[in-house]
Amino acid sequence: THQWRGVIEEYRDRLPVDAETEVVTLREGGTPLVPARVLSAATGCDVHLKVEGANPTGSFKDRGMTMAITHAKARGAQAVICASTGNTSASAAAYAVRAGMVCAVLVPQGKIALGKMGQALVHGSKILQVDGNFDDCLNLARGLSEKYPVALVNSVNPSRIEGQKTAAFEVVDALGDAPDIHVLPVGNAGNITAYWKGYREYADPATGGPATRTPRMWGFQASGAAPLVHGAPVTEPSTIATAIRIGNPASWTLAEQARDESGGFIESVTDRQILRAYRLLAAEEGVFVEPASAASVAGLLQAAEQNRVDPGQRIVCTVTGNGLKDPDWAVAGAPQPIVVPVDADAAAERLGLA
């Protein structure tokens, strides 16, 4: 009767915990790495999806939150705070419950998906809707954590990066080595930073890493919120992918480091490309993700169309969050379901079976 124990227990020797640390976990991680047949055919490569929507609160944030909340609890914190486009707040709210802590979240008013708001509410966090964007929320959260006794659990907290690096470990453990290319959506840039740290540590002979190499890191931002692509903050970021609607990423220089040290790049994709990839993932790969998550796949397809993807490579795309978080986009523009009477012949006829 073995079950996955969560990222801290599974990777204890590679994380900043000791024997006495009381671990706060929902048994996050251990997520599926799913071969993507249609994307593989489209690129001539061996493409896999790291399905992070399978985490307990439906996004990759849980990997970082188990570590951040574990550390906050060890230091005796009674309250945590974060700014969020929705997923960090959902995760912080759930892990705070596990730790018996108060959780406060700051979200941009009207710009987070309903499912994520519902998570923060049902887990009992204190929600402030800020009349501003994510970047304003993060400034506010930082200021509050400096002045008041409340621990900041955004990815500027190094514990978050430590937890999130375990996703790279899992990819290597599943494939036997690092892929040639790892593709990610980029918002506040914590995750690309974390993956790169994980891949480097796992390929470091000094720490007995099982990988023989590191991948090139390809990051994609939404074109209306692409400060890393422009090389300057965006004051009014805009994209339908609300999770990555961020104009001034906190881990800016670390993301550039990941890009440059790995020989990768950070580019942008339009909302139209994001939605096309979102529908392709659901309709052709059977994987339902939230729009921001589809930016990685949209970026891979864009690079392939530009003939910048050499065939035969092994590529992993992280799809960061569950489609159920933001189902409006699944319903919008889809045909209305057909209404039928309780009658087999009528149902068969409507299904084209008769």
Residues that bind ligand F0G (CB under 6 A): 59, 61, 84-88, 155, 185-191, 243-244, 290, 292-293, 320-321
Give min distance, CB of 342 to ligand F0G, in A. 40
The residue to which tokens 């490579």 are assigned: 313
The residue to which tokens 């390929």 are assigned: 203
Here the tokens at position 187 are: 């918002």
Nearer to ligand F0G, 23 or 266 (CB): 266
Nearer to ligand F0G, 86 or 227 (CB): 86
Nearer to ligand F0G, 46 or 85 (CB): 85
Give min distance, CB of 49 to ligand F0G, in A. 13
The residue to which tokens 């899992």 are assigned: 170
Nearer to ligand F0G, 56 or 190 (CB): 190
Give min distance, CB of 241 to ligand F0G, in A. 8
Q: Would you say 237 and 249 are in contact if contact means Cβ atoms under 8 Å apart? A: no
Q: Are strands 126-130 and 46-51 parallel, antiparallel or unpaired?
A: unpaired
Element holding 84 (H helix, E strand): none
Longest dimension (CA), the chain: 70
Here the tokens at position 88 are: 């960090």
Nearest to 26 by CA among 43, 8, 44: 8
Give min distance, CB of 29 to ligand F0G, in A. 16
Give min distance, CB of 137 to ligand F0G, in A. 9
State the CB neighbour count (10 A cutoff) for residue 303: 20
Measured between alpha carbons, how far is residue 329 from residues 15, 326, 333 in Å? 37, 7, 8
State the CB neighbour count (10 A cutoff) for residue 235: 10
Give min distance, CB of 215 to ligand F0G, in A. 17
Give min distance, CB of 87 to ligand F0G, in A. 3
Give min distance, CB of 257 to ligand F0G, in A. 14
Nearer to ligand F0G, 8 or 105 (CB): 105
Q: Would you say 220 and 318 are in contact if contact means Cβ atoms under 8 Å apart? A: no
Nearest to 52 by CA among 323, 263, 341, 310: 323
CA–CA separation, 318 vs 295, rounded Å?
A: 10
Measured between alpha carbons, how far is residue 317 from residues 78, 149, 354 in Å? 37, 38, 41
Measured at the CA of 223, the angle between CA 222 and CA 224, to 5 degrees, comes to 90
Nearer to ligand F0G, 23 or 153 (CB): 153
Nearer to ligand F0G, 46 or 290 (CB): 290
Nearer to ligand F0G, 214 or 251 (CB): 251
